[in-house]
Amino acid sequence: MQEVKESEEFEGTVEFSPEELNSIFTSEKFLETLSTAAEETHKSGYETAFEISVLEEREFVIQNIRKGGTDSMQGEEEIKEVDGMEFFTKKHGDLLHFHFHPGAEGSVGPSGPDLFIFLDERAPSFLGIGQVGEKGRVNILLIKRPRKIITEEDIEDLEESALWSGGQTAQTQGEFLYEPSQRDTQDALSKAGFENFLIRFDRKADGKYKLNKRSQKLLFGLGSARVNLVFP
C-alpha cells in the first residue's frame, strides 16, 4: 500500500497529544453524550451516532446525537443537541466519527460500509464503533485513520475474511457456527492495515460512565492524532 499524501484542499492540521486525547475521552461533555447515545441504543435497538470535531484553536465540539435504524444510520433523526452546528462556519476538522451497533453480545467491529469512510480524503482521525453490554458497560473499538492508502478491494477482502464478523454475523465452518472472538476481529483489522484499540467505559452506581484505568493506558498508546482542517 502507498503512503497517504496530504491533500492540497486542507487548510492546515492540528496535532493532539495522547494527554489531550485522554482529556477529551474523560471530559464530562463526552461522557454525557456517550451516556445518552448508549441509553437510546440499549432501549430502542437502533444505531446512534455523533461526531467530534476540533477547531483551529484546539477546542473540541460534539455534533448532535442522531438515531438511525437497526443496521445503519440511514433515515437518521436528531435526538439531542450537544454543541449545535454553528462551528461549521469556522475552520475545523473531524477527530472522531462514532456510532453504536445494537446488540450486547459478540465482538465489537465495523461493517464494510463503516470502513468506507477511510476512502475519503477528509476521513476523521478515528472511527469508533460502540457496543452496550448487559450491565451497561460500553465497549468502543477505536480504529485509527490508516497511514497507507486503503482501497475498496482491501475492504472487500476483509469482509470476506473467515476471521472477521464485522461485529454483525457469525461464520459457518462445517457443522459448527463460529463466532469470531474480539481478538480475531482486531487481528484481522490490523493485518488489513487498520490500527485499532478496544477501550471500555464502566457504568457507575449513579448511572454515569467512567473510562476504566486500563483503557486510559491504552489511549496513551495511541500516540498523537493529526486532524486535517478545512473551511466549510
Cell of 113: 460500509
Inside any domain, residue 51: yes
Inside any domain, residue 142: yes
Inside any domain, residue 3: no
Inside any domain, residue 7: no
Dist CA 46 CA 68 (whole Å): 6
State which residues form the domain around 192.
13-228
Q: What is the pTM for the complete model shown?
A: 0.86
Are 125 and 145 in contact, with CB atoms under 8 Å apart? Answer: yes
Inside any domain, residue 22: yes
pLDDT in tens, the chain (232 residues): 444 444 445 678 888 899 999 999 999 999 999 999 999 999 999 999 999 999 888 889 999 999 999 888 988 899 999 998 777 778 889 999 999 999 878 889 998 899 999 998 889 999 999 999 878 899 999 999 998 888 999 888 887 765 554 444 444 444 445 577 899 899 999 988 999 999 999 998 888 999 999 998 888 877 888 888 887 6
Q: Which of 186, 137, 198 is nearest to 158 (CA)?
A: 186
Q: Which of 122, 36, 45, 42 is nearest to 79 (CA)?
A: 36
Residue 168, pLDDT score: 44
Number of domains in the chain: 1
Residue 178, pLDDT score: 57
Residue 86, pLDDT score: 78
Dist CA 26 CA 31 (whole Å): 7
Inside any domain, residue 6: no
Inside any domain, residue 2: no
Dist CA 78 CA 72 (whole Å): 15
Buried b (16+ CB within 10 A) or exposed e, 77-113: eebeebbeeebeeeebbbbbbbbbbbeeebbbbbbee
Are 48 and 67 in contact, with CB atoms under 8 Å apart? Answer: yes
Inside any domain, residue 8: no
